[in-house]
Chains A and B, each alone.
Chain A
Amino acid sequence: MGAPSLPGRPHNAYSIAQSSKPPSLLSGGFFCPVARRAGRLRDRTTAMDKVLNKILEEHRREKGNLILLLQRIQETYGFISRENVQWFSDRLDVPASRFFGVITFYPKFRMKPSGKNTLTVCCGAACHIKGAQQLLYASHEALGLAKGEDTTEDLKFTVEKATCIGACNIAPVVILNKQVHGAMDPEKVTKLLTGFAKEDEFIGY
């Protein structure tokens, strides 16, 4: 469906470069045919380097740690690509394995691009017994996500699970882009998502 993903290939920045349009700064890698043909390869890499250098500078100035660095990368790009890890690993002289160790330890770090909007479904104990699982099903259905996927193909939505977010008294809870919605049920989630998708489009054009 949609994006021509190659079987067995890791879902990295390269495969995104082919599927998403317009190509982002990230996609200006050596293998990106569009960038090469346009002859803008150097511009693009420098543009990306500029962003990364800024992060690196901040990191050095604040004597920050790996988690903060990774948070900043994720804030900038929405996810952490292997290329970015390599870039920092070379410059900071920290083995890439240590980066990946931290990335894979904390569930909030992503190595796949995330959608423009994020729906977080709380799956803590209080939300669980009030039907958080049903909310997950409903949101997957409303967005047409298959089991195991978490981001729509048009990169508009990401659905993620959270452990307790501390709003147990209004369980079950979902968070849509920082806005907490309490006492949800599957219908309300569906309404929220479809309503939001429409609104989003309306503002977008």
Chain B
Amino acid sequence: MSTSSVEIKVCLGTSGNAAGGEEVLRLFRHYVFDRAVEARIGTRCEFRKVGCRGFCSKDVLVDVIINGSKTTYQSVKPIMVERIVDDHIVGGGPIPEWMAGDEYTSFHSKQYKIILGPCGEIDPENIDDYIRMNGYRAARKAVTKMTPDGVIDVVTQSGLRGRGGSGFSTGEKWRICRGQKNDTRYIIGNVGEVNRALAEGNPHAIIEGLLIGGYAIGAQKGYLYIRERYHLSVERLRTALDQARDKGFIGKDIFGSGFDFNIEFSFGTESFICGEETALMESIEGKRAMPRYRPPFPAEKGLWGMPTVINNAETFSNIPLIIGMGADWFSSIGTAESKGTKVFTLSGKVKNNGLVEIPMGMPLREIVYSIGGGIAGNRKLKAVQVGGPSGGIIPESMIDMGLDYESLRKVGSIVGSGGMVVFDDEDCIVSVTKFFVEFLQRESCGECTPCRIGTKRMLELLIKITDGTGEIEDLDTLNRLSGIMTASSLCGLGRTASNPFITSFNHFRDEYLAHIRDKKCPAGVCPALVVFMVVPEKCKGCGLCRKACPAGAVTGEIKKAHDINQELCIKCGACYKVCKLKAIKKQ
């Protein structure tokens, strides 16, 4: 912490790991030790593994901080480490060609990182790092200086709404639960797909939020519900929990206030339906995850029949900030109805894939073009799907809309899990819709009839359309089905399952009609409706497509125009992808 210091931060989130971050860090340690760097520059080197900072398409990201001036390197491979150590750390001269460029800056400058901020700065496996940046101070304040009702008041005033999908006011939910007469109450933090980076980058924030929530509603026990498959998240949360327990933040008589609170893991299995709160409780109880009838709501009668609050891990991460910085600060971010920020996973056909945190109400256009850097391959934007599988598809013409609970509901979508998939003109909307419906059909728990049978029939009709045997009447049937499912399904999964179809049909009617009436797939995706052909004038006979074809359908001599045998063609598109001369066309 003196004036002369060297700090090396290596991004080790899931994708940092996947890109070889572990090896990069090992090599940094190796070279610094091996070359006696610390002795030569006369100062200690600190190594820090940090969580994901969102810019995953250029992993591994490495920060080298010398005397407070930070240099970020992108796409660091193990082989590059030696030169960074020699030239930069010892020599003092950064290596410009490996430094993170404008994309990195523009990716971050438009974001507003309040909960993702610490990810990428602190070591998630070290509680002292978190405490140094005022960690657990909010919990101490809440438990020792505030009454439970006071905490609930602040959370209500802040305008925080559930980040898991429904957007119900968090403070209200807590108040209902606190108002119940039972002595035993539970609080559950659901760590879903999008929260993965949070759990990996800043697990203590989730734990602290859960602790404050537990104090506010008067729960003795909290659960962290997490998919077993998220190995890294589980590991980091477990470490964090152990450390918090050692420090006395979790356990008996917390902060000397007499408040006892314990947190336990509950390992979920991979089921989409477990995102529904009553189904999640069934799963914790060890049963088939089928939603319960409501009312009574979980806040009145939840886990094991006791009042229970379920919030998303992202919601909990906001809590310490609200308590620490005040409700006014939090409600100054966002729009009139939707306060704070929201984390989205920006993926699909944008240049910069990654995890982004934006203030509520930011226009979709800015996310796609400023943060996402536009469409990969300079193609045309077609649509953006927001809110996970049961979200709606928003067409290019509407991307100036702001992202918040109300505007999204207006266009038939939801904030949902915060998934954001960008489609370009090479994606077929009908086929994409089919994919989402297929997913929802598979994940439907089968409890209520509208959802169980509705999703199945819907999928059958969509398959029929993409196979080229659809009829105009099918669209009416689909519309009618959607209405019935939305009106009469038991839980959110069934009620929102028709979102992809309704929104895509409203905005891309022409594409549906092209599939049905003209038997053509405009984007050239649906195998039954597309033909791959060689354009003889453009083909130079390089033979790439012949080698790429898995079915042996491409024939031709070298340096002469090739030909595709339509009977053998399996329409995989491999030839189309490898051709550098654009000599293969889809029809």
Q: Chain A residues in contact with chain B, CB under 8 A?
A: 64-69, 71, 101-102, 105-109, 120, 124-126, 128-130, 134, 162-171, 173, 175, 178-182
Determine whether B347 belongs to the interface, using a CB cutoff of 8 Å to chain A.
Answer: yes
Compute how far the CA of A167 lies from the CA of B432 in the bound complex, rounded to whole angstroms: 19
Is the CB–CB distance between B436 and A125 below 8 Å?
yes
User: Cα distance A116–B215 when bound, in Å?
Assistant: 45
A108-B269, A128-B435 known; 9 other A-B pairs, CB under 8 Å? Answer: A67-B286, A106-B269, A125-B436, A166-B196, A168-B419, A169-B346, A171-B353, A178-B231, A182-B15
Q: Is the CB of B270 within 8 A of A170?
A: no
- The reply to whether A162 and B229 contact each other, CB–CB distance below 8 Å, is yes
**In the assembled complex, B19 has its CB within 8 A of some CB on chain A:** yes
The answer to whether A71 touches B348, judged by C-beta atoms less than 8 angstroms apart, is: no
Question: Is B211 an interface residue, CB under 8 A from the partner?
Answer: no
B355 at the interface (CB under 8 A from A): yes
Asked whether, in the complex, the Cβ of B288 is within 8 Å of the Cβ of A169, the reply is no
Taken together as a complex, chains A and B put the C-alpha atoms of A200 and B15 apart, in Å, by 24
A79 to chain B, nearest CB (A): 15
The distance in angstroms between the C-alpha atoms of A32 and B463, with both chains bound, is 47
Given contacts A129-B432, A163-B443, contact A170 B15 (CB under 8 A): yes
- In the assembled complex, 6 residue pairs joining A and B whose CB atoms fall closer than 8 Å, in A order, are A65-B284, A66-B286, A102-B288, A105-B445, A125-B388, A168-B421
Chain B residues contacting A166 (CB-CB under 8 Å) are: 14, 192-197, 230, 345
Measured between beta carbons, the chain A residues less than 8 angstroms from B348 are 126, 129-130
B: contact size bracket = 35 or more
Q: Does B272 belong to the interface (CB within 8 Å)?
A: yes
Q: Which residue of A lies closest to B286 (CB)?
A: A65
The 4 closest A-B pairs by CB, nearest first: A65-B286, A166-B193, A126-B347, A166-B196
Counting chain B CB atoms within 10 Å of each CB, which of A126, A166, A171, A173 scores highest? A166
Minimum CB–CB distance for A58 against chain B, Å: 15
A148, chain B: closest CB distance, angstroms: 16
B186-211 CB contact bits vs A (8 Å, 1 = yes)?
00000011111100000000000000
Asked if B427 is at the interface (CB within 8 A of a chain A CB), the reply is yes
B57 at the interface (CB under 8 A from A): yes
Closest to B196 in A: A166
Min CB gap A117→B, angstroms? 15
**Is A168's CB under 8 angstroms from B271's CB?**
no
Q: What is the bound-complex CA distance between A78 and B270, given in angstroms? A: 17
Report B-chain residues with C-beta under 8 Å of the C-beta of A169.
15, 54, 56-57, 345-347, 353-355
Neighbouring A residues of B192 by C-beta, 8 Å: 166
Question: B443 to chain A: which residues have CB within 8 Å?
Answer: 163
Question: Does B18 interact with chain A (Cβ within 8 Å)?
Answer: yes
For chain B residues 339-367, which have a beta carbon within 8 Å of chain A? 345-349, 353-355
Q: Which residues of A contact B196 (CB under 8 A)?
A: 166-167
Assembled-state Cα–Cα distance A71/B267 (Å): 10
Q: Which residues of the partner chain B approach A134 to less than 8 Å between Cβ atoms?
A: 572
User: Quick one: which of A107, A129, A178 contacts B423, CB cutoff 8 A?
Assistant: A129
List B contacts of A180 (CB < 8 A). 14-15, 17-18
Residues from chain A with Cβ under 8 Å of B229 in the complex: 108, 120, 162, 165, 175
Q: Known contacts A166-B193, A169-B347, A180-B17; decide if A125 and B389 are in contact (CB<8 Å).
A: yes
Within 8 Å by CB of B18, from A65, A68, A162, A182, lies A182
| Pick from A101, A126, A130, A182: contact of B419, CB under 8 Å | A126
Residues of B within 8 A of A175 (CB): 229
Q: A125 to B432, alpha carbons, bound, how many Å?
A: 9
**CA gap between A181 and B228 in the complex, in Å:** 18
CA distance A175 to B54 in the complex (A): 20
Inter-subunit contact A170/B286 (CB<8 Å): no
Partner of B287, one of A64, A102, A124: A102
